[in-house]
Amino acid sequence: MVLVVDAVQGTLDELGTPLSDVTFVVFDLETTGGSPAEHAITEIGAVKVRAGEVLGEFSTLVDPGGPIPPFISVLTGITDAMVVAAPRIEAVLPSFLEFIRGTTLVAHNAGFDTRFVKAACAAHGYPPPANPVVDTVDLARRVLTRDETPNAKLGTLARFFRSPAEPCHRALQDARATVHVLHGLIERAGSFQVHTLEELKSFVRAPTPEQQRKRHLAESVPHAPGVYLFEDERGEVLYIGKSTNLRNRVRSYFTAGETRPRIREMIGIAERVRHIVCATALEAEVRELRLIGGAKPRYNRRSRFPERVVWLKLTQEPFPRLSIVRELKDDGAAYLGPFGSTSAADDARIALHEAVPLRQCTQPISLRTRRAACVLHEMGRCGAPCEGKESPADYAVHAANARRAMTDDASPVLAAVTARMERLSLEQRYEEASVDRDRLAAFVRTAARMQRLSAITRIPQLVAASPAFDGGWDIHVVRYGRLAAAGVMPRGAHPTPFVESLVATAEAVIPGPGPVHAASAEETECILRWLESPGVRLVEVDGEWSLPAHGAARHKARIDLAYRPLVAPRSREGRPLT
């Protein structure tokens, strides 16, 4: 008997496109801000590569049609003078679209760059590019472990893969660095049997075998707001999260949508998921913060060590100075914070010293002590109270100005540091100016945050309500900035007895020293976000709730604008992913 077998030849589509045959265009943009609706492109850089060979480069400055914010100039080195003779985006766009035709686009945090390209196309009558897109951030999270790289920032990956091109926030240079990162990532992906473009795109989103095997862990979790805890076989808490729908959120960890390497690693260790049902979404958010602070799960990056925060203190002595401390005391001193690190607190201190000539020596000074003044006196940055050249009364004016800048009005600090940055920029000392920018940001952001926190932590009791989904009301009792009680008032119920009962059973809160004395800063900020959300109504306020008229909050938007191009992609929980 003769067995006849019909051979069937597979098509090229079934085989896929080998990565060695794919033409990639690795590109990067510099912009005046983070929103395509409000900001414009200032530079485009792109590198066309295939099979490891560079086929061509595209680079041009772009006239944004308006002034470039000073903070952006400090970051990128691109000034108004550099783009005054550059072409507008409508003149550049056709050439760029031709350059990328028929290729696969690659960018680091590709969503940011492609949004600007699509917005430019829409504004000038071009169809949006239909090119396949590969994001090196997503690919890096899939093939690299936390032990190899602590994050997926371009600079970190460029160093890891030994790129000869160092990222510097200039478009072509960053694109060149991304080329080397792409080649390193593709080589890594090959060990996962990824050899075609189609396999590369599906590989990034495919769930791991461990994710598929452990989907049953979500079966007993209810559809309710609350907190969930992943635990290993010994009961150690690995990860804590919260959600308005526990079942849906926990199930998402076992799907292709969960691509974070550290979470996929955690799923491989987890053996059970414990849950705590909460009355409201705010209670769930607060419970999550408290549990993370207590258990310190190794896979939670946020708030792992809340006790390590530091404060900037204006000391109480005849000649006060700025000191970095870890403990708040009820001593009448002015505090600024909390800061996540000593270096951040020191940045804010240097910014404040730029505006106020406080002494910077650490030795105690009294009316009886006399010693030679340091070089700061010669530079005009200190009145030399150590030599007796400045009386306590005269020095008290500086201390009062420093206290006012910390608690009420940050304008003098903003003006002093901005003036210095402008001088440095005119001298083309951009790196020094960027250091001052970071120092100013540390001061203004922390002052704005502390003033918001202080406003609510002064209130002995606040009761507020927001509409619930079923027609009832979510009611919360807040005491000195700490959530003391949460409940849901059913639809049609009389509010007075319900509120009185909730208040009567609420946690007793004893205030302590400092601006944030009854809860963590993160918890109080959660409460503030809820209070500022649409539909929230104040039921009772025991005291006064107000912010300084000239506080740091009015300057924070300007600071944030300078950093918007640097904002990292965030998870569905609002946490940084890089």
What pLDDT, on the 0 to 100 scale, is given for residue 563? 66
Residues composing the chain: 578
Instruction: Report which of residues 541 and 70 the model is more confident about.
Output: 541
Cα–Cα distance for residue pair 139/194, rounded to 1 Å:
12
Instruction: Report, as residue numbers or ranges, the catalytic residues.
Output: 169
**Is the model more confident about 367 or about 275?**
275
- pLDDT of amino acid 305: 62
DSSP output for 266-287: HHHH--EEEEEE-SSHHHHHHH
Range from 119-133, 329-343, 359-373 carrying the lowest mean pLDDT: 359-373
Average pLDDT rounded to a whole number, residues 219-227: 93
Residues 6+ apart with CB under 8 A from 480: 457, 458, 459, 460, 509, 511, 517, 518, 519
Flag whether pLDDT at 378 surpasses 80.
Answer: no
pLDDT in tens, 463-472: 999 998 878 9
Query: Quick one: average pLDDT of 288-316?
Result: 83
Give residue 565's pLDDT band: very low, low, confident or very high (50, 70, 90): very low
Give residue-wise pLDDT tens across range 483-538: 999 999 999 899 999 999 999 999 999 988 877 788 888 899 999 999 999 999 99
Where are the CATH 3.30.420.10 domain residues in the chain? 18-205
Q: What is the mean pLDDT of residues 403-422?
A: 91
Give the three-state DSSP class for 177: helix
| d(C-alpha 578, C-alpha 568), whole Å | 6
Q: What is the CA radius of gyration of the chain?
A: 28
User: For position 306, what pLDDT does the model report?
Assistant: 61
Instruction: DSSP for 348-399, please give it.
Output: HHHHHHHHS------S---SS------HHHHTTS---GGGTSS-HHHHHHHH
Residue 567 is predicted with a pLDDT of 41
Instruction: Judge contact between 443 and 410, C-beta under 8 A.
Output: yes
- As a whole-number percent, the residues of the chain with pLDDT over 90 amount to 59
pLDDT top residue among 10 and 365: 365
Question: What is the average pLDDT across 124-142?
Answer: 92
* 422-426 mean pLDDT: 89
Q: Flag the least confident range among 16-25, 96-105, 424-433, 476-485.
A: 424-433
> SS3 of 313, please?
strand
Distance CA 235, CA 501 (A): 36
Most trustworthy range by pLDDT among 146-160, 173-187, 559-573: 173-187
Q: What is the 3-state secondary structure (H, E, C) of 10-53?
A: CCHHHHCCEHHHCEEEEEEEEECCCCCCCCCEEEEEEEEEECCE
Closest CA to 412 of 403, 569, 67: 403
Average of pLDDT values for 93-99? 96
- In the prediction, which pLDDT does 109 show? 92
Q: How far apart are CA 46 and CA 92, in angstroms?
A: 13
C-alpha 562/C-alpha 70 separation (Å) is 8
pLDDT at 319: 87
Range in 275-289, 381-395, 417-431 the model is least confident about? 381-395
CA distances from 509 to 461, 512, 518 (A): 10, 10, 7
In this prediction, residue 85 carries a pLDDT of 92
The pLDDT, as a whole number, for residue 375 is 63
The dihedrals phi and psi of 359, each to the nearest 5 degrees, come to: -70, 145
Residues 288-294 have a mean pLDDT of: 92
Query: Going edge to edge, which strands form the sheet with 537-542?
Result: 482-489, 473-479, 461-467, 537-542
Q: Look at residue 205 and tell me whether its pLDDT is greater than 60.
A: yes
Q: What is the pLDDT of residue 40?
A: 93
Q: Please state whether the predicted TM-score (pTM) of the whole model is above 0.85.
A: no
Cα atoms in the Cβ-side hemisphere of radius 13 Å centred on 410: 30
* Matching CATH number, 209-304, of 2.60.40.1220, 3.40.50.300, 3.40.1440.10, 3.40.50.970: 3.40.1440.10
Residue with tokens 């414009």: 40
Instruction: Write out the E strands in 153-200.
Output: none
CA distance 443 to 132: 43
| 475 neighbors 540 (Cβ within 8 angstroms) | no
pLDDT tens digit sequence for 152-176: 899 999 999 999 999 999 999 999 9
CA–CA distance, 47 with 56 (Å, rounded to integer): 6
- Give the confidence band of 8 by pLDDT, cuts at 50, 70, 90: very low
Instruction: Please check whether the domain covering 18-205 is classified as CATH 3.30.420.10.
Output: yes
Does the pLDDT at position 3 exceed 70? Answer: no
Residue 291: predicted pLDDT = 94
**Residue 133 — left, alpha, or beta (φ > 0 → left; ψ -120 to 50 → alpha)?**
beta
Other CB atoms within a 10 A radius of the CB of residue 259 amount to: 20
pLDDT digits (tens, 9 = 90+) for 49-94: 999 999 999 999 999 999 998 888 888 889 999 999 999 999 999 9
Q: Where are the alpha helices (DSSP H) in 372-518?
A: 375-378, 392-407, 411-426, 430-457, 495-504
